[in-house]
Amino acid sequence: ETGVTQTPRHLVMGMTNKKSLKCEQHLGHNAMYWYKQSAKKPLELMFVYNFKEQTENNSVPSRFSPECPNSSHLFLHLHTLQPEDSALYLCASSQELNAIQYFGAGTRLSVL
């Protein structure tokens, strides 16, 4: 148990659906991150939030929309995704930017 909880663990959605991924951290951290891991690729940083403010958007398509209502919660809203968006989506948090990051177990997303 890392103190970072992601829900759901698995998600199957059609290309016209709208869904959201949720991440919650119980570590009192100030920074939160979304990463994507596709098959045979390294983890790719998507978004970074520090004290609820977005500090990094790594050229992610607009069909992925992050939301950070407070330092403990991070959402990734998904709409009109493509099959190539199927991947493992990982959330992480850290005490401050560029400190050690602690990861959730991830959401395995399949887009049909």
Binding site for another protein (CB under 8 A): 2, 4, 6, 31, 33, 35, 40-45, 48, 50, 55-56, 58, 90, 92, 97-98, 100-106
2/80 with CB nearer another protein: 2
33/78 with CB nearer another protein: 33
42/69 with CB nearer another protein: 42
Least spacing, CB of residue 74 vs another protein, in Å: 13
CB 11 within 8 A of CB 109: yes
Least spacing, CB of residue 101 vs another protein, in Å: 6
Cβ-count burial of 28 within 10 angstroms (0-12 exposed, 13-18 middle, 19+ buried)?
exposed
Which of 73, 72, 89 has the alpha carbon at shortest distance from 36?
89
Distance CA 91, CA 83 (A): 21
Least spacing, CB of residue 15 vs another protein, in Å: 26
13/97 with CB nearer another protein: 97
